[in-house]
Amino acid sequence: MKLTEQILTNPQSAPAPLDNRITLAYGDGIGREIMESTLAILDAAGAGLEYDTIKIGKEMYLEGHASGISPEAWDVLRRNKAFLKGPITTPQGGGYKSLNVTIRKTLGLYANVRPCRAFTPYVKSHFPDMDLVVIRENEEDLYAGIEHQQTAEVVQCLKLVSRPGCERLIRYAFEYARAYGRRKVTCMTKDNIMKHTDGLFHQVFDEVAKEYQDIEADHYIIDIGAAMLADSPGRFDVVVTLNLYGDIISDITAQVAGSVGLGGSANIGSHISMFEAIHGSAPDIAGKGLANPSGLINAACMMLAHLGKGRIAERIQNALLCTLEEGIHTADLYNEAFTKQKVSTSGFTQAVIQRLGQEPSRLKAVRMGQQSKPIEVQVKPYVRPDKKLVGVDVFIDWADGNRIPAELGHQLEKLAGEALQLKMITNRGVKVYPDGFPETFCTDHWRCRFVASASKVDAQGSGMAYAAPVAYSDITNLLQRLTIAGLNFIKIENLYEIDGERAYSLGQGE
Ligand code: ATP
């Protein structure tokens, strides 16, 4: 085992961003109205923030900036620790790129945090006891955006999951639970199927959980976990999960809580973090004074807590709850039973400001726990493991004749050479050679697994083909023989043993 230790926290030394000066962008649609409301409340509550304003969104897209942001805006964004962002409208068509994805990836915003709380009876929800936070990995997984068409019939999307990516996120989830006085962190994965990618996430979760004995930790398979979230969300507290699952369940939970219009979210990075409402730019009501600013106000409160101003966030959120329970509602929240006064965006803003310092009597008041201290996450140094090459999966585009796997198998056995042997062929993960079933449907995409040849294994005195090392030149020589034989290989995946453990999945039926 190599004892090279790697410290994986922020290799580039970026200058420390500023705490009291934030970047803000009004955005499109109702953006200006709700941002003005939020800023008025922040100022009235004594947040003591200064602002650098940047332009993003529709105007920037139409000026020709493909990601909806001008190049100069990046310098401002990188100078400040927090970015409060209004909703934006992405024009239809024209190959525009998502601004959120661009910002998330460029600035390394690794955790998406979305609290979901029910505000019954003022906002309808079947689950009055619901009060949970979804913390979703934000950069990896299928969202790395690496997709390829490989054959006429088959396309693929790479699911990338990294140890430091998992660790940073999962540590953030536990630190968040501690800082915000939450008692439990639930991990959701599909590691019964994806043993290596989701398996790594679950494994790192178990490792990190041991360091937080004061916080309860449990795990659900994502399908049953999502069903539970929809059926009995009150049993959850903090949920931490991979990117795709998190994307889906955070929408489910916001919907189930009934609070899509009130929700805020944070995208947390090591240097810079972005805060926004979860709703869109609502162009249908823009400029009419009808917009509910609560989503952005809640996002701004998450920002205050992140900046170490938790007490001010608490004051604002409690004033917001008082306004809600006193029946002072914007049009979207109007209901006969509880609305006493239907107000405009500015009327709502004034009502919140007037209630700063008050606490709600029916709704549970917000208590920030120790959260006036910003959350710091350090990924631990780790020992790089031993990595041994033990074979290769060669993916071949083959549609000859009736696609009889044995024909391809016999040809590959002859081409395997001295150093390698063909172990199996799978089609869409199912073993079709040797000993496949004729019923298995075969596409034109064949995964052909080669391992060290029997003679090489015997020479090593090892009983198991997988245990014998393979040289990189054995693989390049094989690829050359395949090419000369007219076989069209699409890609290869090397098979490794990592610290003596098989580090790849077996084919179904292997
Ligand atoms: P996007 O694709 O940007 O998410 P969308 O049209 O799917 O846009 P929203 O912009 O969130 O979603 O609007 C959905 C509905 O909710 C619209 O009828 C809109 O008027 C309403 N809505 C959204 N946000 C608010 C708000 N803050 N206050 C009042 N109504 C809102």
List pLDDT tens digits, range 8-51: 334 444 555 557 899 999 999 999 999 999 999 999 999 999 99
The mean pLDDT of 204-226, rounded to a whole number, is: 97
Instruction: Give the chain's mean pLDDT.
Output: 91
Residues contacting 307, CB < 8 A, separation 6+: 19, 20, 22, 81, 82, 374
What is the distance in A from the centroid of ligand 1 to the CA of 291? 9
Residue 183 has pLDDT above 90, yes or no: yes
Domain 126-257: assigned CATH number: 3.40.718.10
The mean pLDDT of 352-361, rounded to a whole number, is: 96
CA 449 → CA 206, 271, 412, 460, distances in Å? 32, 44, 10, 20
pLDDT confidence band for 510 (50 / 70 / 90): confident
Report which protein residue has its CA nearest ligand 1's atom 7: 280
Residue closest to 111 by CA, chosen among 307, 250, 284: 250
User: Residue 321: its pLDDT value, please?
Assistant: 97
What is the distance in A from the centroid of ligand 1 to the CA of 45? 27
Report which protein residue has its CA nearest ligand 1's atom 1: 280
What is the distance in A from the centroid of ligand 1 to the CA of 256? 17
pLDDT confidence band for 465 (50 / 70 / 90): very low
User: Residue 269: its pLDDT value, please?
Assistant: 94
User: Residue 459: its pLDDT value, please?
Assistant: 58
Predicted TM-score (pTM) of the model is 0.90
Q: Is 327 in the pocket of ligand 1 (CB under 6 A)?
A: no
Q: What does residue 53 show for φ and ψ, rounded to 5 degrees?
A: -100, 135
Q: What SS3 class is residue 388?
A: strand
Q: Is 165 in the pocket of ligand 1 (CB under 6 A)?
A: no
User: Residue 12: its pLDDT value, please?
Assistant: 45
Residue 227 has pLDDT above 60, yes or no: yes
Q: Is 251 in the pocket of ligand 1 (CB under 6 A)?
A: no
The mean pLDDT of 473-489, rounded to a whole number, is: 97
Helix (H), strand (E) at residue 180: none
User: Residue 8: its pLDDT value, please?
Assistant: 39
Q: Is 37 in the pocket of ligand 1 (CB under 6 A)?
A: no
Residue closest to 452 by CA, chosen among 385, 387, 388: 388
Q: Is 294 in the pocket of ligand 1 (CB under 6 A)?
A: no
Please count the helices (runs of H) and the strands (runs of E) in the chain.
14, 22
Q: Is 250 in the pocket of ligand 1 (CB under 6 A)?
A: no
- The Cα–Cα gap between 84 and 263 comes to 14
Residue 344 has pLDDT above 70, yes or no: yes
Which of 26, 89, 251, 279 gets mutated to test ligand 1 (max ligand atoms within 8 A of its CB)?
279
Q: pLDDT tens-digit profile of 230-289?
A: 999 999 999 999 999 999 999 999 989 887 889 999 999 999 999 999 999 999 999 999
CATH 3.40.718.10 location in the chain: 126-257
Residue 453 has pLDDT above 60, yes or no: yes
User: Residue 372: its pLDDT value, please?
Assistant: 62
Q: pLDDT tens-digit profile of 106-135?
A: 899 999 999 999 999 998 888 999 999 999
Q: Is 57 in the pocket of ligand 1 (CB under 6 A)?
A: no
Pairing of strands 147-149, 155-157: antiparallel
User: Residue 145: its pLDDT value, please?
Assistant: 81
Q: State which ligand 1 atom lies nearest to the alpha carbon of 296.
A: 27
Q: Is 282 in the pocket of ligand 1 (CB under 6 A)?
A: yes
CA 83 → CA 23, 110, 303, distances in Å? 5, 15, 8
Residue 339 has pLDDT above 80, yes or no: yes
Percent of the chain with pLDDT over 70: 93
User: Residue 124: its pLDDT value, please?
Assistant: 87
Residue 491 has pLDDT above 60, yes or no: yes
Q: Is 27 in the pocket of ligand 1 (CB under 6 A)?
A: no
Choose which CATH entry (3.40.50.720, 3.40.190.10, 3.50.50.60, 3.30.70.1570) describes domain 387-502.
3.30.70.1570
Residue closest to 446 by CA, chosen among 490, 505, 509: 490
What is the distance in A from the centroid of ligand 1 to the CA of 424? 53
CATH 3.30.70.1570 location in the chain: 387-502
